[in-house]
Structure 1
């Protein structure tokens, strides 16, 4: 939102500097992005009138003029502007004047003719980029007056960022309300006369979609002169608001837009066939916009139409066929309240973004339509002439938004702000903001103003009070509370410990979006339903993620496309699973995930290159689980995860509860994602691994440990982890370690079978184990393996 300081001060004029005003705006939540002077630094330029103008005798493109600046003698000035003519009121730089760029005006001769000054263009005074001719001032401009004073050039243009909840501040009036409240001074609303209705002409208005357009006002104005030049004061106000002057009708509707924050539109009445209908688009219906582009109107787009065709995209953009031209004499003026939901996102469907759509998407004041209509009518009649008909009102009051009524307690204000603000100051703040206030004992009943859609609950009001009172006016106070050390259980494992271990293992942390591409997610999780966003940033970010793999694999592709081959990434974050039994229908779980690809080691002359494999990643996962002391409880079991290679993946279980997955990305998915080479991933549910058992000190056995190795032959589909698990369960406390140290398939082993070599470490804490004890335990293990897996002891 861009506006001039002088325009704002017409509404509210606190005794503060421009810098202080900008500080107040920023502290009130209307952050000032830019402030600049409306004109360059110059002096010695006054209002003058060209009383004589004739061709220069020695130059075809120069004219010799005599200029009256209100003094006894006329000035001889040579001018080359094409619009220089007798009777023109101009900006005259006299001898001694200093123009922007430290350009000094001196008396001189141009092609033999004396010149005692210079007639200036807007660009020469650094007012705008217009250098097509000299400035043309109104005829009644007082001769000799300093041009800076006459055009109010000692002014500044201020640009602010308006947050989506403050649509009321897309107009001077809304900004002035905040400044009035902050400085505790009255708001000066510029007065204008209610235009007289002098004709009875009406047009039928039918609103077929009252939910989308609860209020639609129209008025016929006949006999206007569209060719009337826009007055300089109006043109300047628009320029200082970043709006280019087009024609008097458009300029007036833009003026109302900036002043009141309410969009309006004007149609050429003579181009309307029949009445006005507010409806949604018809199939295959087309419209040529004011910019000349033709569009096909979508069925979800609200349009303004006559009996035969669409005239405009409601609240977005007008149509060329019903637009105002120099031949227009009669117009239909529109002032409407369109529901934000009916306009939101519609302009982007057509590649558009207009001032009107920007405001309607965020919500305009539903009570402002009459005021905007009367203001625009008054300006049109005063400047262009014409006759106004009555306002045609099509309002469905049941569909208009209702202002919230909120109970506000004194205790809530004190608790949230932490500071006691006087009751009367609170009432003044809320009243100046437009609230209706009823005082009760230690509380108030507040009715929010119609232009504040964002005020819905008690906390919203407390925020308004603190914002207007000034956060910097709330004193800093030392806390007078008892400091209690927070209990931190030794069982809790900080997520930073997991992160630090992965960093030490060569991983880098990534942060990816929670919004992901549904196509990629359906490849990784084809059988899971995802949460679809109603208003996504883009089609590639339209669903909530079911795992962290989508973002991490996208990061891998991004880095591989930039010649990065060895990649190790990890991320912690939430996944969002639809669940009707959870709050808001979403089950959120914190995950820890990682991905590796490329070589296992950095390139080195003494290390042989080797691509990462399943066991490299499995080792990293086991290191993570070791932090929580869960390695002894973990099991890796073959799984059928659709995103992973059928023979190179595992589900991770702790105490028979599934806590995650790891494995190689499925070759088909690898190809579809554009991954370069074998890529491995893991994912763990963080809440399942961040609790550890407190270690208990135990005596170290002083008796010797004994090792026995056995080799068994089992079917190829037997999982080695299951074999080790059986040995542990049979061996009891005296079997302190079991390890698979070799696996063999080949000569002397039948097809479909494999040989597993297992070491058994036995030790007792109270005595030395005899050979009979050791043989008994080993024999029991062999028998159990024979019974469970039909294992054969290899000779």
Structure 2
């Protein structure tokens, strides 16, 4: 909520500076998010009167003005503003003045005519973005008065960040109550003197649904001047509270809403056909709102109807059909109490919000409606004129104000402060909370504007706020606190999420309950864990794999025209295991490991001009898994294996340090077809525990010697796996010290001869070796000996032959 400090001080004016007041509100739970001046810094600008205007002899769009700035001499100012006219009072930046942004005013010559200052628009003073002409000031302001003083530009604008429970502070009056209670400053209330009734006219109103509207009040006002100007003081307060001035009737309604927290609505009386009826909407009804949006209404939305036609969305926004215009002369002023439960979430459902719904869904004072409608009426009559009819006040179903008890001993124990009986009584009195005392228990009856007081802890919070959180002593805990220092190699679930999210995967959270067909057919789990009371008939078993849920996420996104999807989930799966015993975190016979699974579908890269479109494949996702493993990538091995979820020839079991930890591969074609996907997703699933242990980086010496690169191509049988060749090479290097100069090995080419039209029995594998000695430069003889030794190991173990 945003408001000027001067408006607040009109209700409660404590003897403290602006910053101290902001700190006081913040410490009481009304966080002052911002406290800024109403205008940016500038100096040397005064009120001036244009005494005469003449055309510029050398420019059609410029005029030469004679300006009275109160100094006794008329100043010559060249001005290009279209509204510069004799008799206007406008801001004048004198010679030497400094405008926002540090712009200094000096004597200038414009098309041969000297100018001794500058007449200013609102934008030039940083007051608004309007720059169509000069800022026109009130005729009553004296010439020569500093503009900051004349327009109260040194006022401070507070922005409060309110919690949802403090609906009573969504008004100047509500904040002023808090200031009065916190500082002891006197609270000044607006005048609620009834306006004399001069009309004997009423508009019939019937409240049909008591669970929608608890109180409804309104009155007829005829002969208003809707073209009247909004007073400058009201417009200034509205603008500094973040409200744009629209028209006088709308401005008055908004002003009272900000001042008292009372939303109201003004109908054009001549557009209302028949009487008003307050009820729930009927299926198929429609309404066009003031924002131009046409809504199809549901039966759980409240409306005000006239002649069975919805004219207003109850507690949210008025309708276009009965809205006031500048030609309106007769109005019906309405204000009501709408039950919060009837308003909650309705505006968000239609993807908009309003100041009224923001207040009504949190709770608005229902006891002060007659006084507040008199306040609105007084402003309308004083500004727009008119004849006033009597107030119709229908009390239908007001909410009860249930007393709330607070035990003083409980308050002292919770706060850790020895709050005395007299101090608690003083706090409730200052907060204007009526109470009685029964023994050591304070029984408080919440006022009609406090919807946040319902349990004992609410009252304890009130005592703490007014007593002052800063006055609660810092008492160290008595118990010894021992910090559990995590191992440096341990990776938390958050780190795992961050690692996989850095590869463009987005996290999802799926139900642990899945379809039985998924478990039996997709995962191959013949005996899934059945639920005794499933939340839905198709979610009847516990999952033993995360992959089917991720595939369902991809299908959902594909149906919504998403062409590239990468999702992951970190969650528990459930499988039968007779070895698991009952414990605090375990259920007998059920194993509940935590898995990390991911699925990628669509193009391997975002669409761009530099890379051709290519569908994600096995090796793309394998790289993601390797990045997830970090420094332990060299210990990760892919073993060709079969899984019901995976493509028979494009799936692999992931083995880490000799232990299976998961699966990787393309989704089985059967499930791809069943899911209606154009391409097969590539999925992986890992035991989260296996990837939670990181490997500490080992520092090593950097060699200054050059690296030698050698290639070796061999013929091998088609059934020989590259991994077996790599394992042989690593074992050979580890066994012979002379081969320690081999730093890295990579496979960079695979080729089969299919030119003869028959199936090849051999394949060519091209390996690249990086060799480097830490102490000496490698010569050709040593490199060739090393490569020859590695080739011999491959020949002996796998029967390969070198390719010519």
- TM-score for both structures, normalised by structure 1: 0.68
Q: CA deviation at 1:72?
A: 2.3
Task: Give the corresponding residue for 1:101.
Answer: 101
- After superposition, the C-alpha distances for 1:118-168 in whole angstroms (9 at most, x for unaligned) are 221111111111112111222222332211112111012221222111111
Inter-partner Cα distance in structure 1 for 2:293 and 2:553? 39
Match of 1:433 among 431, 435, 445: 431
Return 5+ residue gaps in structure 2 as ranges: 520-529, 575-589, 599-620, 628-632, 645-651, 690-804
Partner of 1:214, secondary structure, is strand
Contact 2:636/2:654 (8 A) holds in 1: no
Aligned CA RMSD, in angstroms, stands at 4.6
Query: In the alignment, is residue 42 of structure 1 matched against residue 42 of structure 2?
Result: yes
- How do 1:515-526 residues align onto structure 2 when only pairs under 5 Å count? none
Task: Give the corresponding residue for 1:238.
Answer: 238
Query: How many correspondences in the alignment?
Result: 612
- After superposition, the C-alpha distances for 1:316-371 in whole angstroms (9 at most, x for unaligned) are 12211111111101111111111111111111222211111111111112223223
Partner of 1:253, secondary structure, is helix
- How do 1:623-662 residues align onto structure 2 when only pairs under 5 Å count? none
Contact 2:172/2:258 (8 A) holds in 1: yes
Q: CA deviation at 1:513?
A: 9.3
Query: In the alignment, is residue 610 of structure 1 matched against residue 626 of structure 2?
Result: no
- After superposition, the C-alpha distances for 1:447-494 in whole angstroms (9 at most, x for unaligned) are 112212121111110011112221111122355x5x5899xxxxxxx9
The change in CA–CA distance for 1:423 and 1:550 in structure 2 (over 3 A counts) is farther
Contact 2:512/2:542 (8 A) holds in 1: no
Inter-partner Cα distance in structure 2 for 1:174 and 1:28? 13
Partner of 1:35, secondary structure, is strand
Contact 1:174/1:260 (8 A) holds in 2: yes
Partner of 1:321, secondary structure, is coil
- TM-score for both structures, normalised by structure 2: 0.67
Inter-partner Cα distance in structure 2 for 1:366 and 1:305? 22
Q: CA deviation at 1:501?
A: 9.3
Inter-partner Cα distance in structure 2 for 1:355 and 1:675? 50
Query: In the alignment, is residue 676 of structure 1 matched against residue 693 of structure 2?
Result: no
Task: Give the corresponding residue for 1:203.
Answer: 203
Contact 1:4/1:240 (8 A) holds in 2: yes
- How do 1:267-346 residues align onto structure 2 when only pairs under 5 Å count? 267-346=267-346
Task: Give the corresponding residue for 1:74.
Answer: 74
The change in CA–CA distance for 1:593 and 1:236 in structure 2 (over 3 A counts) is same
Partner of 1:334, secondary structure, is strand
Contact 2:181/2:431 (8 A) holds in 1: yes
Inter-partner Cα distance in structure 1 for 2:591 and 2:298? 41
Contact 1:221/1:333 (8 A) holds in 2: yes
Partner of 2:10, secondary structure, is helix
Return 5+ residue gaps in structure 1 as ranges: 487-493, 533-542, 575-588, 626-644, 646-662, 685-795
The change in CA–CA distance for 1:251 and 1:496 in structure 2 (over 3 A counts) is same
- After superposition, the C-alpha distances for 1:292-335 in whole angstroms (9 at most, x for unaligned) are 23222222211111114211111112211111111101111111
Query: In the alignment, is residue 451 of structure 1 matched against residue 419 of structure 2?
Result: no
Partner of 1:92, secondary structure, is strand
- How do 1:527-538 residues align onto structure 2 when only pairs under 5 Å count? none
Query: In the alignment, is residue 154 of structure 1 matched against residue 154 of structure 2?
Result: yes
Of residues 673-682 and 371-380 in structure 1, the stretch that sits farther from structure 2 once superposed is 673-682
Partner of 1:383, secondary structure, is helix
Task: Give the corresponding residue for 1:215.
Answer: 215
Partner of 1:91, secondary structure, is strand
Inter-partner Cα distance in structure 1 for 2:230 and 2:541? 55
Query: In the alignment, is residue 57 of structure 1 matched against residue 57 of structure 2?
Result: yes
Contact 1:222/1:329 (8 A) holds in 2: yes
Inter-partner Cα distance in structure 2 for 1:391 and 1:590? 70
Contact 1:530/1:546 (8 A) holds in 2: no
Match of 1:442 among 425, 440, 447: 440
Task: Give the corresponding residue for 1:746.
Answer: none
- How do 1:390-539 residues align onto structure 2 when only pairs under 5 Å count? 390-396=390-396, 399-478=397-476, 483=479
Inter-partner Cα distance in structure 2 for 1:513 and 1:507? 8
Task: Give the corresponding residue for 2:140.
Answer: 140
Q: CA deviation at 1:557?
A: 6.5
Q: CA deviation at 1:116?
A: 2.8
Inter-partner Cα distance in structure 1 for 2:455 and 2:660? 45
Contact 1:224/1:386 (8 A) holds in 2: yes
The change in CA–CA distance for 1:596 and 1:196 in structure 2 (over 3 A counts) is same
Partner of 2:356, secondary structure, is helix
Contact 1:664/1:678 (8 A) holds in 2: no
The change in CA–CA distance for 1:422 and 1:199 in structure 2 (over 3 A counts) is same
Inter-partner Cα distance in structure 2 for 1:624 and 1:377? 79
Task: Give the corresponding residue for 1:185.
Answer: 185
The change in CA–CA distance for 1:503 and 1:52 in structure 2 (over 3 A counts) is closer
Task: Give the corresponding residue for 1:594.
Answer: 595
The change in CA–CA distance for 1:249 and 1:606 in structure 2 (over 3 A counts) is closer
Contact 2:266/2:333 (8 A) holds in 1: yes
The change in CA–CA distance for 1:41 and 1:599 in structure 2 (over 3 A counts) is closer
Q: CA deviation at 1:178?
A: 1.8
Inter-partner Cα distance in structure 1 for 2:402 and 2:540? 32
Inter-partner Cα distance in structure 1 for 2:319 and 2:568? 55
Inter-partner Cα distance in structure 1 for 2:570 and 2:321? 58
